[in-house]
Amino acid sequence: MRNITDLSVSQDRMFAADVIPFRFINTESTITAIKQAFNIKEAESLADKVNFSKGEVKLNKKIKILDFLSIEPRRIWFTLVGTSKEANSFYESLRKIIIRFDQNQLFRASKPLTKIEQTVCTVTLDVDLRNVFVSKFLDYLNSSVIEKCSSKSAKAYIHGMIFYTGIFYEIKDPDLTSHNISLYPTYFTIAPRADTPIEEGRFYTMSPTDLDTHLKLIEEFEKLFKETRGQRK
pLDDT, position 131: 82
Q: What's the CA gap between 194 and 124, in Å, rounded?
A: 13
User: Which residues of the chain, if any, have pLDDT below 50?
Assistant: 228-233
pLDDT, position 231: 46
Residue 226 is given by DSSP the state: B
Q: What are 75-84's pLDDT values in tens digits?
A: 999 999 999 9
The model carries a pTM of 0.88
Q: What are the C-alpha distances in Å from 35 to residues 9, 27, 81, 108, 136?
A: 20, 12, 18, 21, 55
Q: What's the CA gap between 205 and 85, in Å, rounded?
A: 19
Q: CB–CB of 46/71 below 8 Å?
A: no
pLDDT, position 128: 86
pLDDT, position 135: 86
Residue 193 is given by DSSP the state: P
pLDDT, position 227: 67
